[in-house]
A and B are shown apart, each in its own frame.
Chain A
Amino acid sequence: MQGDTPKEDLATRSTETAQRFVTLKDKLSNEEYNFEHFRAKHLLSDAQATIEKRGIQPGEMAPDFELARVGGGALRLSELRGKPVLLHFGSFT
């Protein structure tokens, strides 16, 4: 799994997550997603997403993804099957 630090993103590889993204409702464009300025509307959309319970629902299979790993290589979620996983999403800021 270790190797050179990937120079390209890997999520676009054909995983279930990538397939789901194509038809995702409420999907943001690249500019909207990577906003230059934090605004009240971002708080509001988080509040709305929370109320709607947006995301993968309990009981559903967690969609598989393969992402570049800090330090090199990549990791595929399905490689970890057999043990529980704590999956956290967070920002540097």
Chain B
Amino acid sequence: MNFIDVVIRQAHPGADVPAYHSFEQKMRDAESYRQEDGIGWPVLVDDLEGTTHQVYGGLADPTYLIDADGRVAFYNMWTHAPTLHEALEELQQQGWRGEVKGGVHQTPHLLPSMTDGWKGLRRGWPQSFIELETSMPGMASGPWLGYQLRPLLAPLTLRSKPLPPSAKLGLTAGAAALLFLGVRSLRSRLAADSGRVRARNKR
């Protein structure tokens, strides 16, 4: 098994991490990336135009599993460790050849980026934060908050294997209960407010 990381364009530029204007600049960031994240496998640097990245689809964070013959066995469009774990197990059972798990997995899983998304984003602070948060509220502040709560959340968000079905069921039930309680308290607050308005109107 070989692991390869290809460093692509600046996803969230900032003062210390501006958009790339030279290959040397990209190589320097790739060196920091390998060092800071402690990556023990080859880190490659795409050219300035993003030739390899764009030919391979141009997405922000994809992973390909390539089989022993050099064919794409699985395309995880938004890298997700538990999904890859399952795909790898299947590929191994097939003797490292052929397609696995339906071939393409399109779903973005937001849970891991809730605790780990901040790692990349903070390098471009504050520009990276402001630009992402205004593009989609919660996408930057969420990971910031998640990063602060990392010791608490990591066992849940940074799993390398899928959660057992019972845990998924429990989490779904928990989320549904929270939603129900939230809606109920909101409705009773709204009812109380409109009651006050009516009382004021009478006077």
CB within 8 Å of B: which residues of A? 5-12, 17-18, 20-21, 24, 26-28, 30, 33-40, 42-43, 46, 49-51, 53-63, 65, 67-71, 75, 77-78, 80-93
Contacts and interface: CB of A to CB of B under 8 A. Distances in A.
Contacts of A5: 27
Chain B: interface size category: 35 or more
A17 to B, nearest CB: 5
Contacts of A90: 5-8, 33, 61, 79
Contacts of B132: 38
B84 A86 contact: yes
B52 A67 contact: yes
Majority secondary structure of chain B interface residues (helix, strand, loop or mixed): mixed
10 contacts: A30-B49, A34-B50, A56-B57, A70-B34, A83-B1, A86-B2, A87-B6, A88-B6, A93-B10, A93-B120
B1 A51 contact: no
Interface of B: 1-14, 17-21, 23-24, 27, 29-34, 42-75, 77-79, 84, 88, 91, 96, 99, 103-104, 106, 108, 120-121, 123-124, 127-128, 131-132, 134-136
Contacts of A80: 2, 4
Contact of B96 (A56, A75, A83): A83
Contacts of B120: 91-93
A90 to B, nearest CB: 6
Contact of B46 (A11, A20, A49, A85): A11
A48 B65 CA distance: 22
A34 B8 CA distance: 10
Contacts of B64: 55-56, 62, 85-87
Contact of B75 (A6, A12, A37, A56): A56
